[in-house]
Structure 1
Amino acid sequence: MLEGNRVSRISVRGFAVASATAVTAVGSVVGVASGSTAQPNDAAEATAADATLLADIPAGQQAQVQTASLAQQADAQAIAADTSAKKDAEEAARKAAAQSAIAKKAAAEKAEQEAKDRAKAKAEAASRSASRDSSSFPVQGSYSVAQIQAMARQMVAGDQFQCFSNIVDHESSWNYQAVNAGSGAFGLFQALPAGKYASAGADWRTNPATQIKWGLNYMDSRYGSPCQAWSFWAANHWY
């Protein structure tokens, strides 16, 4: 029986057998009418042989059946390939999402830490500035090295004092009235020209606190901190 364009091998074989049987039956009738002596069994055997021969020939219907079978196999393989591809894509998407989440978390933690560091640095700078602005030292006719260093300790952050002290040691040995005979550089930090100290106070020639305030502001603004200024000085022997 035909179904669309697909015909099974059994249907083709049945069609061939029915056709051969019909032809044989007609032949038998004709033979009997003409006085043929052929036996019925011989006719049946011929019919079966003819049917088998027809069924074994790759007729157009049989080729269609084979093509349909191959098409079904191809469809099944395509479906399996699509399913596998979808699973791979879903797995890749999950991995990408996980990696993105990890990267975002790391970036957020880094930004948070940087914000904390900036806030801490700002607070420390404000504390140093407040200390410098609020420092009040009695005016004296002269100051010892110990007194000048005590002033500096009150004006410079503890973790920066040693670097600050290193620079002053090399520039003036804590002599707030030191003068370079060749260049005219003056004071604790050997400022040149000496009048630079005036930005910190008019009494810069006689008040070491004013010189310290100027020197600390200079290191912070030019290098970021006394320790960074000292690193530059150690490499270049000037700052």
Structure 2
Amino acid sequence: MLEGHRVSRISVRGFAVASATAVTTVGAVVGVATGDPSSNDLETTASGATLLAEIPVDEQAQVQSATLAQQADAIAHAADTDAKRSTEEAARVQAAEDAKSKKAEAEKAEAEKADKAKKDKEKADLEAKAKAEREEEGEIASRSASRDSADFPVQGSYTVAQVKAMAQQMVPSGQFQCFSNIINHESTWNYKAVNASSGAYGLVQALPGTKMASAGADWRTNPATQIKWGLNYMNERYGSPCGAWSFWQANNWY
């Protein structure tokens, strides 16, 4: 028993020296156990450590447990604080990443929108330019015609050669071949040709034939009047006879 008691004293003495908190707490306990009020002024000294050794073993265990519990609480509190700080930092980093991602998406969408607007404008500009070129080409074609239908004397009938000769003088030279291609397909240069199914009439197969009255009242019998109307129609609708011929090749009508 003596040896065991000595070991307990040595253990408790070492513990008291290592922990100021423990010594203070033990001092209070000693004062209560002995009933000595002056023990409240006990300092952490070697003599205090000796007094600690006098505390019963059960009370020493209680003091050690209380101190360890306090240390555990302090460690847990520090861990909670670190965890909270880490969570807040992670949330801040994530928020920054989300903001950066949203900004990048917004910039991408804006760039795509601007690119689309640019392409649409370029397309519209090209279409407007092509239309203007067609109109200009048609105007040039119209102005380039050297003779009008009224310049040709009226005859009772016309040969194919005569009709072609009239067309060559009325249609601009750069457009004549395209004009001729259409007439070859539509009427083979027969100014009295009639389509039995639709009723289309004349060199250019106007439908209805009465449309050609805008070029002259003699549209039924005068190929020059039909050529004049057909040339105006091709210029107004397709920009030129060659524009009309390109459409005809793709659709087999114009």
TM-score band, normalised by the shorter chain? 0.5 to 0.7
User: 1:92 Cα deviation (Å)?
Assistant: 2.4
Correspondence for 2:187:
172
Listed one character per residue, the Cα deviations across residues 193-235 of structure 1 (whole Å, up to 9, x for unaligned) are 755432211343554331112223445667785222454436x
Decide whether the 8 Å contact of 2:193 with 2:202 is kept in 1.
Answer: yes
Aligned length: 211
Structure 2's unaligned 5+ residue stretches are: 1-18, 40-46
User: For residue 212 of structure 1, what is the aligned residue in structure 2?
Assistant: 227
Residue 226 (1) aligns with residue 234 (2): no
Aligned partners of 1:87, 1:192: CA distance in 2, in Å?
66
2:29 aligned with 1:23: yes
Return the letter of the residue paired with 1:198.
A
Residues 173 and 188 in structure 1, CA contact (< 8 A), matched pair in contact too? yes
Alignment-derived partner of residue 134 in structure 2: 121
The 1-side partners of 2:200 and 2:102 are apart by 73
Are 2:69 and 1:57 aligned? yes
For residues 43 and 120 of structure 1, the distance between their equivalents in structure 2, rounded to whole angstroms, comes to: 115
Kindly provide the amino acid, as one letter, of the partner of residue 226 in structure 1. A
Within the alignment, does 1:144 sit opposite 2:138 as a pair? Answer: no
With normalisation by structure 1, the TM-score equals 0.64
User: Which residue is 2:122 aligned to?
Assistant: 109
Q: 1:216 touches 1:226 (CA, 8 Å); kept in 2?
A: no
Identical-residue share of aligned pairs (%):
36
The structure with the largest alpha-carbon Rg is: 2
Structure 1 match to 2:4: none
What is the DSSP-based 3-state SS (H/G/I as helix, E as strand, rest coil) of the residue aligned with 1:144?
helix
Distance 1:205 1:180, change over 3 A: closer
For the residue of structure 2 that corresponds to 1:202, the secondary structure is: coil
In structure 2, do the counterparts of structure 1 residues 21 and 128 end up closer, same or farther at CA, with 3 Å as the change threshold?
A: farther
Cα 1:92–1:171 shift into 2, 3 Å: closer
Deviation of 1:23 (Å): 2.3
* Paired residues for 1:6-17 under 5 Å: 17=23
Following superposition, the deviation at residue 182 of structure 1 comes to 7.3
